[in-house]
Structure 1
Amino acid sequence: MLFNQAGQATSAAATGGAGGDLVTETTTQTFMVDVIEESRTRPVLVDFWAPWCGPCKTLGPIIEKSVAATKGKVKLVKMNIDAHPAIAGKLGIQSIPTVYAFVNGQPVDGFMGALPEGQVNAFIERLVGGPADADVSEILAAGEVALSEGDVAAAGEIFAHVLAQEPDNLKAIGGLVRAQVQGEALDEARAILESVPADKQGDAAISAARAALELAEQAAELGDLVTLEAKLDLDPTDHQSRFDLAVGLNAKGRREQALIHLLDIVKRDRAWNEDGARKQLLQLFEAWGPTDPLTLSGRKKLSAILFA
């Protein structure tokens, strides 16, 4: 990083040096375009710095060199937090230098402090490279496993890693949305879905992600699950409380219990609420995916009830 006489950073792009448009400055007003929108096409590193920060001056040339070595796969954006403190405040940044990596409009990784060149290179390689011989389908499968085990952070990182290489990978987009949903970041999930082109909205992965989001939004409007369970204890034929409890249980990751409650309603009174329990089951199956073991067993149990 170069510093002018006023002590302010000037990127390689600003000075006409190596790196070109791979290194730029941003402001609060241009952050959306410089970082959020740009990160939908390639990973963007945001270096939060200040003129008085010694370690920032150490990290600057290291991270610029590392980004230049990617030959366009990664962009570096610098933000002076003294001049533009709002974004750093929203991200909860308390010390600098801090670097955030954005992919597909979301922060997916980061580090603090003036790391040595080797660690900076490893950070960037992890962001754009991943396992040398791993097939994308294998990486996506690992993301699904992490999600099924409730490791939302790991799942989000895996899907974001795929998107760093393939920004239009619909399975990765859908996986990232479902990770956000499971992490209760519903606004972020909705924003990702809205960014999907209209002609791709019908894709199975996107439909599953949308179903998961809709179910989570539905659950957010419910009351306390303990109260619903108490109502059922008093009246096992209270289908509305059982239905609401199933929606809430699914949102908490207790999917098998949700399935049991909805199947119970179908068995007791299929016509209830205009076939509402069966329709809710179909939405669950869509959100879980056609090959999910619980989807497969749930469909068999539903068929057994319907055709008994």
Structure 2
Amino acid sequence: MPSRDFSLHGAIDLGARQAAARKQQERRAQGGGTPAGTGAGGAAAEYVVDVTDQTFNAEVVERSQSVPVLVDFWAEWCGPCKQLSPILEKLAAEAAGKWILAKVDIDANPQLGAYMQQMGVRGIPFVAAVVAGQLLPFLNGAAPEAQVRQAIDQLFEALVKEGLLLEAPEPGEPGDTPAVDPVRQQAEDALQRGDLDGAKAAFEQMLASDPRDAGAKQGLAAVELSRRVRDLDPERVLREAAEKPGDVQTQISAADVEIAAGRLEQAFERLLSAVRSSAGDDRDAARRHLLSLFDLLPPDDPRVTKARRSLQSALF
């Protein structure tokens, strides 16, 4: 599978999210829509969403905590995009909520376009899958419907195999459905609404019941990170961190900005450097913050394992 790096791509902006939703509704009411139109008509509307630089985190990353999101990077001038888009919209409608299609116009959203290039992608159409906040490169270039359908099926099989997605239960007798944890559902619903306080409370309740709940621990860590970075100016924070290498609190904020942008290893190394170069309370603050960032990833993630070894070396 591709890299498990994830991105919180900026602060959650509920006002921008609501404005984007209104704009999307207006476009559909006027017969507009995505570059090739909504191939599945109104049936696709609730499963296809236009996202922007400002709404990517709320509409894609947070939503991916409860349902996989395929992100279609496109542009009006891109001919192959107009071939692939209606196929994706049709399949999203058929999936009926199994996954959501998010569409990004890279010309109108330069930050997301630049982020796509940072992943090593040099052309469009390009489709990424975001699952539980983890961004996975998926499709590069247009393809026939049968091939796209097969690729999506293979993606879901791989996600289940890697434990990033629960396998769909086998059909049973009518009414024979597994019970849904109401607190977990409460957390997922809060994330979809962009309600970080509500999600935090739900995740904390889950951990109070089971301190070993890895999913709740990751969810809480992601919420806490979102709360810390939503009012930060990334460029200013990183500039100040370069100007004040000995200021541990500034380095902690810079690490948050880096990890929110998907630069996990840089964030880990920044805090490891702070641990090595500081002492007393500052050293302990850097250590504790680094440990809190480990909770964003599965405990067996090789980057966490490597950083833990480096932390032990720095401390002892």
What TM-score, normalized to structure 1? Answer: 0.46
In our comparison, the structure showing a higher alpha carbon Rg is 1
User: Which one has more relative contact order, counting CA pairs under 8 Å at least 6 apart?
Assistant: 2
